[in-house]
Amino acid sequence: MTDLGLRPLVPTLYQLAESPVYDDRSHRLVFCDIVDNAVHAVDLATGEDRVWRFPSLVASLGLAESGKIVVALKDSVILFDPETGTSKTLASVEADKPSTRLNDGKVGPDGAFWVGTINEAADRAPIGGLYRVDAAGHVELKVDGIKCSNGLAFTADGRTMFHTDTRGPWIDRWDFDPATGAISGRTRIATPDDATGRPDGGAADVEGYYWSSGVSAARLNRYAPDGTLVESYPVPAAAPTMPAFGGPDMKTLFVTSLRQGRSAEQLAQYPLSGSVFIGAAPVAGVKVSRFRDI
């Protein structure tokens, strides 16, 4: 098994780090801390961590063509300008459902922001969805009947989308049309258990394989397109939340993790829980698209 060499990018232990995206223009890793209502941008050359805070939780984000950041708040998607600190609301999503909030999101090959919701009610009923939000603010429900939408990733040719439900738990593969954002041919490729790792955030590599954070198992799992688990890597955190590829050759691997809600026993075993990790991947990852706002 390849050693990913995962180590903390910075010494900070975040409560719920998520949604890492590599910014090739500035050589920074941009990610959020959901419960701290914050977006972070860490300079990979200096380690400087620039922080912006928002009036609600920050669920996920994506980079825009203009240099702005598309950000999913609790029940709205905004376009944030990090240079001026100003933001514009693009869309409201499930604001009429008090028990749901936005969760994992990623810009697709179609230039739109794809973002799903999670039902935080005790019954965990499957009332969430996966949405497509474009720069004009148009919101389209793409998938419904979800408990915790997660794991969005797209292959290098833009023709395949991976999507998960952490509480399903399942991993689905879809045919994707990068010209229109249409999805079809839904195929359930895996139903991982707690020991393997319930599927949280995801990423795709250039070979078409899917990398999934096994949030329940301190693992990073690599699946073949047909759902075969081909590699399972240990992560030095109790609950890894999302992988991302970056660097000039796209072979630098980043993994976010959470600290919130971990038991004393878990923190004793995994004291680095809450870290954002950096390591080296055995294969290059797919560059994530930018939000088409210009």
Which active-site residues does the annotation give? Answer: 200
Given a contact cutoff of 8 angstroms between Cβ atoms, the answer to whether 85 and 53 are in contact is: no
Given a contact cutoff of 8 angstroms between Cβ atoms, the answer to whether 279 and 257 are in contact is: no
d(CA 65, CA 292): 6
Q: Is residue 267 packed enough to be buried (19+ CB in 10 Å), middle (13-18) or exposed (0-12)?
A: middle
Largest CA distance in the chain: 49
d(CA 190, CA 76): 31
Given a contact cutoff of 8 angstroms between Cβ atoms, the answer to whether 52 and 39 are in contact is: yes
69, amino acid identity: I
Tokens representing 285 are 């990852």
Q: Which residue has the tokens 């249409």?
A: 182
Range 213-246 burial, b when 16+ CB lie within 10 A, else e: bbbbbbbbbbbebebebebbbebbbbbbbbbbbb
Phi-psi region of 11 (alpha: psi -120 to 50; beta: other; left: phi over 0): alpha
